[in-house]
Structure 1
Amino acid sequence: MAKLPSIALGFLSQPFTRLSQLLFLADSVWVNNGQVITSELSNSIQETLDIWNITGLSVAVVPRYGEPEFHSWGNMTEDEDKTTEGTLFHMASIYKAFCVSALGILMDDYEHGRNITPLPPALCEFNWHTLVQYILPGEWQLVDD
């Protein structure tokens, strides 16, 4: 049995209601009998792309155990070149959500003793009140400091 990661980020709309409820349960146990991106899921994703007029999408499923899966739908250019595993998408400001989520997971790991990477010597806690300059002493400062 594979254990899903504690957090899943992604675009899920109406056709994925049941799946999204499964994916967003923290530390759920989910049996992966092989392929995650099935033809049924692929068809549902294609329907969603058509409904919302989305030109292209790439999905990666990275289980804790087992091999990652990749699949792409749609076009990456106006000339209808198909998307591939290597297609780069403009993500606008979504990197901030990924960064904050990753920091939250890291803080939770420290709080529950799951992370073995030591904090800098002068730092005794790592939470939302910890300043970046304390985590990266001498390497990071605000431009106006």
Structure 2
Amino acid sequence: MKTIRLIRQTVAMICILICCSVPLYSQEISSARLDSLVENTMKSFNVPGIAVAVVKDNRIVHMKGYGVSSIITGKKTDENTLFAIASNSKAFTAAALAILVDEGKIEWDTHVTDIIPEFKLYDPYVTNEFTIRDLLTHRSGLGLGAGDLMLWPDGTLFTLNDIIYNMRYLN
């Protein structure tokens, strides 16, 4: 339950930060002012930690971690801290893939194995036919939460390559 609460608070804080940035769009904002906005928002929503990156004209102009990534260990958050944002990543993934489709680099019906040749699912037929569209519409045949233990609890040592490789064992 604490994880769900933390995710909800983080999403709420991100939404607040996005809203706060709208009137500031045409203005320069100092790192100190941004620090103040982030820290006040964290206090308001009781969020223990966040990593923030501000990109302007395809250039990172501010990147910093605030607070702690674990209230249990007190581990400090930095600009490279990864957070388990679960389903919040779906929108970012879909947007990134849509950009690639728009640029003509992939198609919605491109097979995943055309992009990641080592990708395998338990069923060879599904592996061969699985497309980007299937990926985004949850048509892999995997059940709810399949593979979650490769990402949880915090601190698992699975790399991206490990996760791709281990997908073949999920049934």
Q: TM-score, normalised by structure 1?
A: 0.55
In structure 1, what is the Cα distance between the partners aligned to 2:20 and 2:77? 27
> Could you tell me which residue of structure 2 aligns to residue 82 of structure 1?
76
Residue type matched to 2:19 in 1? Answer: T
Answer yes or no: is 1:59 the counterpart of 2:61: no
Gaps of 5+ in 1: 1-9, 24-29, 111-116, 120-125
Distance in 2, Cα, partners of 1:106 & 1:98:
12
Q: In the alignment, is the contact (CA less than 8 A) between 2:48 and 2:69 conserved in 1?
A: yes
Deviations 1:32-64 (A, max 9, x none): x6xx56222221121111111111001112344
2:111 to 132, 139, 143: 132
What is the rounded CA distance, in whole Å, between the counterparts of 1:41 and 1:138 in structure 2? 39
Which of 11, 14, 20 matches 2:14? Answer: 11
Quote the Cα distance in structure 2 between the aligned partners of 1:108 and 1:21: 30
Which structure ranks higher in relative contact order (CA pairs < 8 Å, sequence separation ≥ 6)?
A: 1
Kindly, what percent of the aligned residue pairs are identical? 26
TM-score of the aligned structures, taking structure 2 as reference length: 0.48
Query: Would the aligned equivalents of 1:37 and 1:69 in 2 still touch at CA under 8 Å?
Result: no
Q: Choose from 29, 34, 43 the match for 1:41.
A: 34
Return the offset for 1:89: 1.7
Structure-2 separation of matches of 1:93 and 1:22? 29
Name the amino acid aligned to 1:132: H
SS at match of 1:80: coil
CA contact (8 A) 2:65 2:79 kept: yes
Aligned position for 2:138: none
Name structure 2 gaps, 5 residues minimum. 1-12, 126-171
User: RMSD of aligned C-alpha atoms?
Assistant: 3.5
Which amino acid counterpart does residue 98 of structure 1 have in structure 2? Answer: F
SS of the residue 2:14 aligns to: coil
